[in-house]
Every structure is written in structure tokens, then in C-alpha cells.
């Protein structure tokens, strides 16, 4: 159960960072020479996560919780798009595209929040022995 919540928290962190980056793109729509940025998954992190999921973790102390270590450093990064130009001043921000990406990111974030809420509700039910 906690593994899923840990993974969802990584998704929430990514969605939060992406919201900030996309908002920054829109804020700099009229800035000459500004290049848009986006958040991407780090491929080396993804491959390492795949390897780690196949391996079992070892508890070195009886009071340690089993499962996920909680560290997700390097899971994703902000990348600037320097390959395109939308206007003659060098700016490459397309307002309509950024708005769609913001909406898509908001829907993604909302779905993750809903999933975390459902998992925590299940935990509350288990702790309360099914009583409400």
C-alpha cells in the first residue's frame, strides 16, 4: 500500500514542477528570445527504478519499515526546447499549446490526488477496523 502512495507522491511532485514550468512559459510569452521548457523523465532513473523493483530490499534494523526507500532524486528534469522558433524574435512559446498542456497536467494531478485520497481512506478504514 505504501509503495503505491510513494509512487503517487513522485507523480504529484512531477506534476507540481510541470505546472510551475508551463506557467513560466506562458508568463514569458512576450519575452524576446525566451525558449519554452518542459519536465521530462530521466531515462537513467527509469531504468534504475526498473532494476530496483526487481530486487528485494533488506531490512538492516528491526524498526525499519519494509519497502520503498523514499528517495527519488533525479526522477525527472526540466529541459529547454532550443530546437524551434515560433516568431522572428526567437521566442518559441505557443500560447494555445501551453494552455492545453496546463489543462492536461491539471487533470493528471487531480487523478493522482484522487488515487492518494482513496488509498488513505482504505488505510483509515483498516485502522478503524471497518467502523465509520
Beta pairing partners, 78: 39
* 26: nearest Cα among 88, 103, 109: 103
Asked if the structure places residue 106 within a domain, the reply is: yes
pLDDT of residue 110: 96
Q: Who's near 2: CB < 8 A, 6+ residues apart?
A: 65, 67, 68
Q: Which is more confidently placed, 53 or 4?
A: 4
pLDDT of residue 50: 56
Asked if the structure places residue 21 within a domain, the reply is: yes
Question: How many other C-beta atoms are found inside a 10 Å radius of the C-beta of residue 21?
Answer: 19
Asked if the structure places residue 132 within a domain, the reply is: no
Asked if the structure places residue 68 within a domain, the reply is: yes
pLDDT of residue 7: 84
pLDDT of residue 5: 80
User: What spatial distance separates the first Cα and last Cα of the chain, rounded to whole Å?
Assistant: 21
pLDDT digits (tens, 9 = 90+) for 22-81: 999 999 999 999 999 999 987 655 555 455 545 555 667 666 555 444 445 567 889 998
Range of the structural domain that residue 72 is part of: 2-85+94-127
From CA 86, how far away is CA 48, in angstroms rounded? Answer: 36
Distances (CA, A) of 55 to 59, 67, 91: 13, 11, 46
Asked if the structure places residue 40 within a domain, the reply is: yes
Asked if the structure places residue 47 within a domain, the reply is: yes
Check residue 89 and report its DSSP letter: T
pLDDT of residue 71: 47
Asked if the structure places residue 55 within a domain, the reply is: yes
Asked if the structure places residue 53 within a domain, the reply is: yes
pLDDT of residue 26: 95
Pair 109, 2: CB distance under 8 Å: no
C-alpha cell recorded at residue 62? 528491526
Number of domains in the chain: 1
pLDDT digits (tens, 9 = 90+) for 72-110: 556 788 999 888 887 889 899 999 999 999 999 999 999
C-alpha cell recorded at residue 119? 488509498
Amino acid at each position: 500500500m505504501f509503495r503505491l502512495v510513494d509512487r503517487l507522491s513522485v507523480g504529484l511532485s512531477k506534476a507540481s514542477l510541470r505546472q510551475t514550468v508551463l506557467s513560466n512559459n506562458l508568463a514569458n510569452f512576450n519575452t524576446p528570445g525566451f525558449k519554452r521548457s518542459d519536465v521530462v523523465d530521466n531515462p537513467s532513473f527509469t531504468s534504475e527504478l526498473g532494476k530496483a523493483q526487481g530486487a528485494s530490499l533488506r531490512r538492516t534494523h528491526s524498526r525499519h519499515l519494509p519497502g520503498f526507500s523514499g528517495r527519488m532524486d533525479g526522477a525527472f528534469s526540466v529541459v529547454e526546447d532550443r530546437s524551434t522558433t515560433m516568431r522572428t524574435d526567437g521566442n518559441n512559446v505557443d500560447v494555445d499549446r501551453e494552455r492545453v498542456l496546463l489543462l492536461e497536467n491539471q487533470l493528471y494531478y487531480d487523478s493522482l490526488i484522487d488515487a492518494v485520497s482513496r488509498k488513505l481512506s482504505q488505510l483509515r478504514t483498516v485502522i478503524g477496523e471497518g467502523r465509520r
